[in-house]
Chain A
Amino acid sequence: MLKVIIDNIEIQVEEGTTILQAARMIGGKVVPPAMCYYSKLKDSGGKCRSCLVKVVKGSAKDPRPVPKLVASCSTPVQDGMVVENTLSAEVQEARKGVVEMLLINHPLDCPVCDQAGECDLQDLSFGFGMEETETIEPRREYPGIDIGPLIKLNMNRCIHCYRCVLAAEQLTKKRAHGMLYRGDTMEISTFIQTAIDNDFSGNMIDVCPVGALTDRTFRFRSRVWFLNPMDARRECGKCSGKVVAWMFGKEIYRITGRKDQFGEVEEFICNECRFEKKDINDWVIEGPRKIKRQSVISSNHYEQMKKGSIIHPIEGTTEPQE
């Protein structure tokens, strides 16, 4: 077991754990944002730099600090390492720069974008972004592409995190999807738009941290904060059948995987569950999905407007840990 201190909190972790994973074990504000790392996808991470942290003490053996900020998702911890995330002004400043870079070509058309309200980039820009842009150059623009009948690709919003490519590679045996070109002209492509008809291809929508890949069956139908997310399940031969049904009244508007507190799906679901089962009778509704109180999805949900008292505080209303 290795001992590591992150933002003055000590934790024991197994060898081979990355700083980001260790921070996630601690939880709360210590966890650096991750736009490309996805624990369920092998080899993910190291692309976006939003998870930068400062290593003020390399290890017990070699206590020198690491001269540059490191990507916490791809740096394994050493015994006796001391890491600063929220405590380091340098990290906060660097993260601001990372957000600026991520937004350099981003249209920020959130009012049109179906991801708005559950978008990691929106949260990140809200947390660290600047109010104004310093660039005057035109942003790159691509027409929208339909990847098959179920998925919409809007390349303008893509941040090149590679998650979708890894998902396509690792979840679906046949890779029909990859990156073309380099740098800011990089495009994810379906190798000349061969429709992806694999059973698990829909998970690319869930792993995409932005609105570059969205569900065509849900396109423009509603905004996520008008819907009620409900845990639902069904017997499914291909996947666990455990999903979140986003409902409006008795109608199911869309189905997604169940996302945990770090925005990662708990289990990947199959396309049949995601796209074809929109009838409420197909599902056993377990109950409302708990959504972070800070999320816009929780707004106007009245169960949260109960008046708390000192004796019976409402769960989660005291200074949140996450």
Chain B
Amino acid sequence: MTAAGLTKRSKIVSNKTMSFWEKIYLPAIIHGMWITAGHLFRKKTTVRYPEVKREFSEIYRGKHVLKRDDEGRERCTACGLCAVACPAEAITMVAAERKPGEENLYREEKYASTYEINMLRCIFCGLCEEACPKEAIFLTKEIVNADYDRDKFIYGKELLVEPMDPLKRIDVSKRQTPEVLEFKKDRNQRHNVH
């Protein structure tokens, strides 16, 4: 019985002496080079990023956006469900109460005064998007840029909230499932009234 008994996968090493051709190694080297050369002429699997960019799927999970509603008010109400759903614990937020006169800025009585995602922690799983009851957070086709400084990867509201300008809005309709769109149509849901 050999020591191989544990896994049954090991091979017994033979001590047979190599023949002359095996000893000069040349055939083995040429065989190896042949494989390498073969790969040189195959179609390349990589692209020359950033000159060339691959096409992204419509539902690629990249950098997040915090959406505004049709009237330009921030949808997020700092409910914390994205943060509790996040497996990487990348999201933090501080809530604040909306003051009279700020109704055009925030949809709900409560809003996120700060909202931060640590893009180094984020694994782009999309669970935050799934958890959000206000359809405030979505992942987008944009990617998070490289940087030299770790602090720059903590994205605050200035980087996450979409621009006010209706032309610069980020379209997430492709990410919304038919069920979600159906739900949004229902004006009886308080959620959709405004």
Residues of A within 8 A of B (CB): 107-112, 116, 133, 135-136, 139, 144, 219-223, 225-226, 296, 299-300
Tell me if B80 is interfacial: C-beta within 8 Å of chain A.
Answer: yes
Are A108 and B190 in touch, CB under 8 angstroms?
yes
Complex CA gap A300/B82 in Å reads 13
Are A110 and B80 in touch, CB under 8 angstroms?
no
Tell me if B110 is interfacial: C-beta within 8 Å of chain A.
Answer: yes
Contacts A/B (CB < 8 Å), 15 sampled: A107-B190, A111-B77, A111-B79, A111-B133, A112-B79, A116-B79, A133-B188, A220-B95, A220-B96, A220-B110, A223-B79, A223-B80, A225-B84, A226-B83, A300-B84
Are A219 and B97 in touch, CB under 8 angstroms?
yes
Are B89 and A300 in touch, CB under 8 angstroms?
yes
Are A222 and B188 in touch, CB under 8 angstroms?
no
Tell me if B142 is interfacial: C-beta within 8 Å of chain A.
Answer: no
Tell me if B116 is interfacial: C-beta within 8 Å of chain A.
Answer: no
Secondary structure class of chain B's binding surface, majority of residues: loop
Q: Which 4 A-B pairs have the closest CB atoms?
A: A111-B79, A223-B80, A220-B95, A112-B110
Closest B residue by C-beta to A154: B109
Which of B80, B109, B188 lies in contact with A225, CB distance below 8 A? B80
Chain A residues with CB under 8 Å of B108's CB are 109, 111-112
Chain B residues with CB under 8 Å of A144's CB are 109
Tell me if B81 is interfacial: C-beta within 8 Å of chain A.
Answer: yes
Tell me if B157 is interfacial: C-beta within 8 Å of chain A.
Answer: no
Chain A residues with CB under 8 Å of B84's CB are 223, 225-226, 296, 299-300
Closest B residue by C-beta to A224: B80
B83 to chain A, nearest CB (A): 7
Residues of B within 8 A of A (CB): 77-81, 83-84, 89, 95-97, 108-110, 133-134, 188, 190
Are A109 and B190 in touch, CB under 8 angstroms?
yes
B77 to chain A, nearest CB (A): 5
Closest B residue by C-beta to A132: B186
Complex CA gap A112/B108 in Å reads 8
Q: Give 12 new A-B contacts, CB below 8 A, not counting A222-B95, A223-B79.
A: A107-B190, A109-B108, A110-B79, A111-B108, A112-B79, A112-B110, A139-B190, A219-B97, A220-B97, A222-B80, A225-B84, A226-B84
Known: A220-B96, A225-B84. A112 touches B190 (CB 8 A): no
Complex CA gap A74/B134 in Å reads 40
A143 to chain B, nearest CB (A): 11
Are B77 and A112 in touch, CB under 8 angstroms?
yes
Which of A107, A111, A222, A300 lies in contact with B81, CB distance below 8 A? A111
Chain B residues with CB under 8 Å of A110's CB are 79, 133
A297 to chain B, nearest CB (A): 10
Chain B residues with CB under 8 Å of A296's CB are 84
A288 to chain B, nearest CB (A): 18
Complex CA gap A240/B134 in Å reads 42
Complex CA gap A225/B84 in Å reads 8
Chain B residues with CB under 8 Å of A109's CB are 108, 190
Complex CA gap A299/B79 in Å reads 15
Are A221 and B95 in touch, CB under 8 angstroms?
yes
